Structure 1
Amino acid sequence: MRDRLDGLWCDEDFAAWYPRDGRPGVSPAQLATVCVLQFLLGLSDRQAAEAVRCRIDFKYAMAMELDDPGFHHSVLADFRDRLAEGERADRLLDLALARLKAAGLVCERTTQRTDSTHVLAAVRA
């Protein structure tokens, strides 16, 4: 996905979430990506922050340099608090879906097919 889109979000998508003054923090686009990976892999905040520091696949997904030190795990909770305000999460999802559609990675209302072997095995068991 990063190869086709260079990420689902860019920092400008989050400009209204943060004040314009103060020192720069962690990229909100990267934090959103970490939150998605964290959910998919069932990681705690500490585990997700550790994965950002140590795992090449996380660094690649977030377009980070290999020697990037990452961030403190508490940043994720702060980001999720901002995400929970208003309808920000819905707007972020809509933006990601629009970019995935534009890149041709998802289609609207098509027949989805999957390998149902594991489903059939569970039903038989």
Structure 2
Amino acid sequence: MQIARASNPGGTTAMWVRDRLDGLWCDEDFAGCYPRDGRPGISPAQLATVCVLQFLFGLSYRQAAEAVRCRIDFKYALAMELDDPGFHHTVLTDFRERLAQDDRADRLLDLSLARLKEA
């Protein structure tokens, strides 16, 4: 993470997201989205953060996945190691489809708003 700060001393929008919103979600908040017989390969809390970054930067799924793979500030925002290969863009599509089921997205938003009020 020192590399991200050294290369962007003033920070970036992606770095701001982590600095201000880190801990807003945890993987357990998404437990109902995944089967009980296994844990998802990619942290759902990280995927939620990618969705926020995707919205902020107006990125497609493919562009967001590429940014996670290539941009130091995105890796910082997701607390990923620099050599982390990221994920295929279809992972974001699958994640959003899971959130769209039932009222999962609304519950996640309510939880996020409650945590922001507490902070």
Query: Normalised by the size of structure 2, how large is the TM-score?
Result: 0.78
Q: Indicate yes or no: 2:41 matched with 1:21.
A: no
Structure 1 residue identity aligned to 2:95: F
- Give the aligned length: 103
Structure 1 residue corresponding to 2:73, chosen from 47, 54, 57: 57
Any conservation in 1 of the 2:34–2:40 contact (CA below 8 Å)? no
Query: Normalised by the size of structure 1, how large is the TM-score?
Result: 0.75
CA–CA distance in structure 2, aligned partners of residues 79 and 17 of structure 1: 9
Question: Could you give the per-residue CA deviations for residues 88-123 of structure 1, whole angstroms, max 9, x where no partner exists?
Answer: 1111111111112211xxxxxxxxxxxxxxxxxxxx
Please, which runs of 5 or more residues in structure 1 have no aligned partner? 104-125
- 1:44 aligns with 60
Structure 2 residue identity aligned to 1:75: V
Greater RCO (Cα-Cα under 8 Å, separation 6 or more): 2
Larger Rg: 1
- 1:85 aligns with 101
Any conservation in 2 of the 1:52–1:58 contact (CA below 8 Å)? yes
Moved more, 72-81 or 52-61: 52-61
CA–CA distance in structure 2, aligned partners of residues 96 and 89 of structure 1: 10
Q: More helix per residue: 1 or 2?
A: 2
Any conservation in 2 of the 1:7–1:62 contact (CA below 8 Å)? no
Q: Identity of aligned pairs, percent?
A: 85
Where has structure 1 moved over 2 Å in runs of 4 or more?
A: 1-7
Q: Indicate yes or no: 2:95 matched with 1:76.
A: no
Q: Could you say what secondary structure the match of 1:86 adopts?
A: coil
- 1:107 aligns with none
- 2:23 aligns with 7
CA–CA distance in structure 2, aligned partners of residues 18 and 58 of structure 1: 25
RMSD over aligned Cα atoms:
1.6
- 2:46 aligns with 30
Please, which runs of 5 or more residues in structure 2 have no aligned partner? 1-16
Structure 2 residue identity aligned to 1:78: D
